[in-house]
């Protein structure tokens, strides 16, 4: 009996290790698919309240990747009351990333620290944490099987914070990620609170190839807050690559002076 008990335990460990390896391989393909030297995006953000009321905003996003780091700048262009509001992220190798939020009405930038990343971004259903690029070194991944999302085959992967720093920072106990088999893009993410409650769902669709590359992008996204019955949609009108951004694009000076 003892032998069979040990055998069952060892078999379970082997299956768990294999599931983790498969999960990481799937996420490596996601990373490869999303990795481009730079991107420029234009989009509309639509916030939808529980009573159906909508608030529309226009914004543009600049992304630059240097090695393992990604810099990004999000700028709101409409409506007039938030025009010029911007959010800058500069990823660093050996220290905390630099995150700055600029609000024209205050005429100054505010640093977003690691303790603030669970806050909502500009009143949307996305938190600052949700805007961060997936750092595979911060999480453990486990393959959970296959699923169908919007009629398409997908892999199902569980992501849990693996480093002490990430465990302390994150607002989620786990995420269940659905990766489209054909494009290797994340098309759905279920977010769970520290108490294990399913609190938010991210969905993405309208997958198209990026001109001049073999990469794909989703041109429609949404984040739904299941507790507040509130939803934020993103509709992309433009995605461009190889933009040759100016050298000071991702700086606090550009953040505050405008582009």
* pLDDT tens-digit map of 89-144: 998 877 888 999 999 988 889 999 888 999 999 999 999 999 998 889 999 999 99
CB-facing half-sphere around the CA of 62: CA atoms within 13 A: 22
CA distance 147 to 156: 6
Instruction: Tell me if 44 sits within 8 A of 222, measured CB to CB.
Output: no
Other residues' Cβ atoms within 10 Å of the Cβ of residue 158:
19
Nearest to residue 166, comparing CAs of 142, 190, 141, 139? 139
Instruction: Tell me if 134 sits within 8 A of 27, measured CB to CB.
Output: yes
Q: What element of type H or E holds 58? A: strand 54-66
Which of helix, strand or coil describes residue 172?
coil
Peptide bond into 79 cis (omega under 30): yes
Q: Summarize the confidence of residues 73-82 as an average pLDDT.
A: 96
pLDDT at 207: 96
Instruction: Tell me if 44 sits within 8 A of 56, measured CB to CB.
Output: yes
- The angle at the Cα of 137, spanning 131 to 143, to the nearest 5 degrees, equals 90
Instruction: Tell me if 8 sits within 8 A of 211, measured CB to CB.
Output: no
For residue 104, give the DSSP letter.
Answer: T
CA distance 132 to 68: 13
The chain-wide mean pLDDT, for the chain, equals: 91
pLDDT tens-digit map of 179-215: 999 999 999 999 999 999 999 999 999 999 988 888 9
Return the CATH number at 87: 2.50.20.10
Q: What element of type H or E holds 70? A: strand 69-78
Instruction: Tell me if 96 sits within 8 A of 114, measured CB to CB.
Output: yes
Domain that holds residue 173: 2-257
Helix residue ranges, H only, the chain: 2-34, 128-131, 164-169, 252-257
Q: Is the pTM of this model over 0.95?
A: no
Give the total number of structural domains in the chain: 1
Contacts of 201 (CB under 8 A, 6+ apart): 188, 189, 190, 191, 223, 224, 226
For residue 181, give the DSSP letter.
Answer: T
């Amino acid at each position: 009996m003892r032998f069979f008990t040990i055998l069952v335990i060892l078999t379970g460990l082997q299956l768990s290790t294999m599931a983790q390896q498969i999960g990481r391989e799937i996420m490596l393909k996601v990373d490869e698919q999303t990795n481009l030297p730079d991107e420029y995006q234009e989009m509309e953000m639509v916030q939808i309240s529980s009573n159906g009321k909508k608030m529309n905003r226009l914004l543009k996003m600049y992304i630059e990747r240097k090695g393992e780091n990604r810099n990004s700048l999000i700028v709101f262009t409409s409506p007039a009351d938030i025009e010029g509001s911007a959010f800058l992220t500069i990823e660093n190798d050996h220290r905390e990333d630099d995150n700055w939020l600029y609000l024209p009405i205050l005429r100054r930038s505010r640093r977003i620290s690691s303790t603030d990343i669970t806050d909502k971004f500009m009143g949307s259903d996305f938190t600052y944490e949700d805007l961060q690029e997936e750092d595979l070194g911060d999480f453990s991944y486990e393959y959970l099987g296959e699923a169908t999302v919007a009629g398409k085959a997908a892999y199902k992967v569980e992501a849990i914070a693996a480093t002490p720093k990430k465990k302390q920072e994150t607002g989620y106990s786990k995420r269940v990620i659905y990766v489209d088999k054909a494009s290797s893009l994340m098309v759905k993410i279920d977010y769970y609170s520290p108490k294990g409650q399913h609190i938010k769902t991210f969905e993405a669709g309208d997958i198209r190839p990026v001109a001049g590359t073999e990469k794909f992008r989703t041109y429609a996204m949404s984040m739904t807050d299941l507790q507040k019955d509130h939803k934020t949609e993103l509709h992309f009108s433009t995605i461009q690559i190889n933009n040759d951004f100016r050298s000071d694009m991702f700086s606090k000076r550009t953040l505050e002076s405008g582009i």
